Amino acid sequence: MYFLLIRAEMSEYSFIFVAFPSLALFLGHLLSLKKQIVILLFTLLLFAPKVFGYNYIVDWLDELFLTVVFACVYSIITYLTTEKPPGCLLPAFITIILAGGLMINVIKGSQTVEQEWEVNNYQIEYIQDQGFTGGSLMKYKLEKYAFFHILKKELEIYVDPNPSNKKCQIVFKESRILFDKCQIKVISRNSNL
């Protein structure tokens, strides 16, 4: 549980800790145990590409899947331990306690996509990462699309050491990919960099 609270403090997944007890309450009252297990298994199946490093192109699907998984597990455990659908008091109490995790969102900082390019099967984003204090960190994120552009895999992040320098070529060394943002083209790993 400690890991989950740290995760809530450090990422945009904070709302899960407020949403899943309420969703569990509705699942417990509306669906049978068998249907809840089916929903849990189906959601875990949809979450499987994350294990291999892929993300869906819709950013909030990870949060939705985690919320449904936590809600199903919570509802199933409550159902098995009380042998009746959960009452309003326990989920309401947990929702109020975990709402404190949302306060962390106030000080966590933000990331803004300043510019975005899509070339071939690649997506390159120029991101301003502003922490709670200090100056912002400018970085390029390289992702590759997969499975009919439904999934994308993060290949590399390049931190721009001198954001005021408007150079055209960005070299992703680990991926061995060169991106020319002036001509908007990608030279892949088969070429010499």
pLDDT tens-digit profile of 59-79? 778 888 888 888 888 888 888
What single-letter amino acid sits at 90? L
pLDDT tens-digit profile of 81-114? 775 555 565 666 566 556 555 555 555 677 888 9
Token representation of residue 120: 């071939």
Instruction: With a cut of 70, list the residues of the chain below it in pLDDT.
Output: 1-18, 83-108, 189-193
CA distance 36 to 23: 12
Residue 12 class from Cβ within 10 Å (0-12 exposed, 13-18 middle, 19+ buried)? middle
CA distance 52 to 49: 5
